[in-house]
Structure 1
Amino acid sequence: MRSPITGTAAGVPFTALPPPDDGPAPLIVTWHMLDAPRSDPAFAAALPMHDLPAWRVHLGMPMCGARMVNGTMDAGLELLRTDVLMSALHPFVQQATEEFPAALDSIRAQLPVADGPIGVLGGSLGAAVALRILADTATPLFAGAVVNAAIRLRSVVDLFDGDYPYDTESDNVVDSWDFVTKAGSIAERAPLLVVSGELDHPALRADAVDLVDAVGPGAELLPIPGLAHPLADEPGIEPAPQQPLARDVDAGLTAWFRRHLPAAS
């Protein structure tokens, strides 16, 4: 097991886990949850995919981890209270998506990653970023995976108290982050693993089934018995020992990416 490498890629903090052997290796890029683990080093500790012959580069989401304001999540939580969709969820995933191309170029400049297609992985809200890369970009990909995913942003908004006051703008925004409607584009891009905790929020579990059904033969559903939404204990900011259920997720992801991993070039 080799030590993590930390740094920034075009201003985005990252935690990179090297492959077991030296030399260029394929790249998998991840985005973490807003629930625990809610930072790139914590997500790397929860889902390290050790022994996978690939670089696993975990990117930090906006206002999380190294990008927290004054070292706490308070500012991000205040945005959730102000307007859960238009002040928090949408700007977070939009920013993470928009900053990805420059971050990827920087990763390739800093680390000995192989040329060619990459893998993408996202947990919860970070899954919306991974799905956007799958559905709406031309980034070459060999496989994708999501865990307890924000597949329909409307389902995530519904998890918060009260009836959200949708208007024309927010309706358009939330519908643009419905990846079941983008299943055809995803199916044409790369195989997709959808990991779903059997104790996750019912709406998110239903969305996971809908996405796999809509994508068709290129998608697989991996239920994890006993798993709720988080993958780590609170506060979920610092790296922590891997929990048994996270280990089950990790094993499924490792097997999935190993199956689709391209040869290094």
Structure 2
Amino acid sequence: MHSPITGTAAGVPFTALPPNDDGPAPLIVTWHMLDAPRSDAAFAAALPMNGLPAWRVHLGMPMRGERMADGSTAAISELIREDALMSFLHPFVRQAAEEFTAALASIRAQLSVDDGPIGVLGGSLGGAVALRVLAETEIPVFAGAVVNAAIRMRSVVDLLSDDYPYDTESAKAVDSLDFVAEAGTIAGRSPLLVVSGELDHPALRTDALHLVDALGERAELLSITELAHPLADEPGIEPAPQLPPAREVDAGLTTWLRRHLTETGRL
């Protein structure tokens, strides 16, 4: 098994896990959680998907990992106190999604990936980024997956802020990150695996079920019995041994992505 490769792609830090075989291979791109594992390196350790004959490139999210201000979460905590939606959640997801096109071009230039459709995967708030890529870009995707994802941003706002004071601008922003409402577009882009921990926040669990229902035959739900919201132990910044629930998620993701790679004739 090859060692991880670290680098930057158009300013975005990444941890890349190469396939075992040399030569151009399919590409899977991920966005990590804000809970543990909260860096690209830690997410790669939690969900390595080693059984896939593909590049797994784990991107760093804004203000996390190498881009964390002063090496701490203080800056994010301050933004949440200022305005959980308009200072933090909405611009955070927007930046991660908008910087992806340039990052993808840079990844293709640096690594021996093939030129076929990619796979996308996101955990928690990273799930909102993956869903936004599906809903709002034309980047070819052969399959997507989300884990304990931020599917409806109103649910996330409710977790971070009691009685959030919506106005016209913030209501428009939060509704732009309701991916149940975008189910028709997402279904037309790629099949989607929705992984939901049975111990996750009830609102996020409900949103996962609603998204699967809205996507119909284009989606599958994978429920993980012992999984709460995080996939790793705190602090979740450095790579750590894979926990049993994360191992179960990892196996499900590997099976899903391998199946759809096979269907495209690339395995």
Work out whether the TM-score is over 0.5. yes
SS in 1 for 2:29: strand
Distance 1:250 1:63 in 2: 25
Q: How far is the alpha carbon of 1:22 from its aligned partner?
A: 0.7
CA distance in 1, matches of 2:41, 2:164: 33
Cα distance in 2 for partners of 1:123, 1:141 equals 17
Aligned to 1:43: 43
Residue 164 of structure 2 is aligned to residue 164 of structure 1: yes
The percentage of counterpart residues that share the same residue type is: 77
Instruction: Please give the alpha-carbon distance, in whole angstroms, between the structure 2 residues aligned to 1:162 and 1:117.
Output: 41
For residues 183 and 161 of structure 1, what CA distance do their matches in structure 2 show?
A: 26
Residue type at the aligned position of 2:160:
F
For residues 15 and 208 of structure 2, the distance between their equivalents in structure 1, rounded to whole angstroms, comes to: 27
Q: Which runs of 4+ in 1 moved over 4 A?
A: none
TM value normalised by structure 1 = 0.98
Partners of 2:64 and 2:201 lie apart in 1 by 23
Q: CA deviation at 1:263?
A: 4.3
The secondary structure found in structure 2 opposite 1:181 is coil
2:72 is matched with 72
Is the 2:84–2:161 Cα contact (8 Å) retained in structure 1? no
Give the 5 Å matches for 1:82-101. 82-101=82-101
Residues 240-264 of structure 1: CA deviation (Å, up to 9, x unaligned):
0000110000000000000001445
| AA in 1 matched with 2:85 | L
Q: Equivalent residue of 1:257, what SS? A: helix
1:222 is aligned to 222
- Give, as a single letter, the amino acid of the residue that structure 2 aligns with 1:91: P
Q: What is the match of residue 23 of structure 2?
A: 23
Q: Is residue 2:229 matched to residue 1:236?
A: no
Amino acid at match of 2:15: T
* Secondary structure of the corresponding residue to residue 173 of structure 2: helix
Look up the equivalent residue of 1:34 and give its one-letter code.
Answer: L
CA contact (8 A) 1:44 1:239 kept: yes
Matches within 5 A, 1:39-188: 39-188=39-188
Structure 1: gaps spanning 5 or more residues: none
CA–CA separation in structure 1 for the residues paired with 2:61 and 2:150? 14
Where 1:83 maps in the other structure, the secondary structure is helix
More helix by share: 2
- Partner SS for 1:186: helix
Structure 2 counterpart of 1:160, which letter? L
Kept in 1: contact 2:7–2:15 (CA 8 A): yes
Contact 1:29 1:58 in 2 (8 A): yes
- Give the letter aligned to residue 55 of structure 1: W
Distance 1:263 1:7 in 2: 30
SS at match of 1:184: helix
Unaligned runs of 5+ in 2: none
Distance 2:71 2:103 in 1: 23
The two structures have a TM-score, normalised by structure 2, of: 0.98
**2:4 is aligned with 1:8:** no
Distance in 2, matches of 1:218 and 1:197, equals 20
Residue aligning to 1:34? 34
Q: CA RMSD of the aligned region, Å?
A: 1.0
Q: Which amino acid aligns with 2:109?
A: A
The aligned amino acid for 1:50 is N
1:226 alignment partner, SS class: coil
- Give the 3-state SS of the residue equivalent to 1:217 in structure 2: helix
**SS state at 1:145 partner:** strand
Amino acid at match of 1:67: R
Kindly indicate whether residue 260 of structure 2 is the aligned counterpart of residue 260 of structure 1.
yes
2: CA distance between counterparts of 1:28 and 1:77?
30
CA distance in 2 between counterparts of 1:218 and 1:173 reads 27
CA contact (8 A) 1:20 1:51 kept: no
C-alpha distance after superposition, 1:118-158 (max 9, x if no partner): 00000000000100111111000100000000000000001
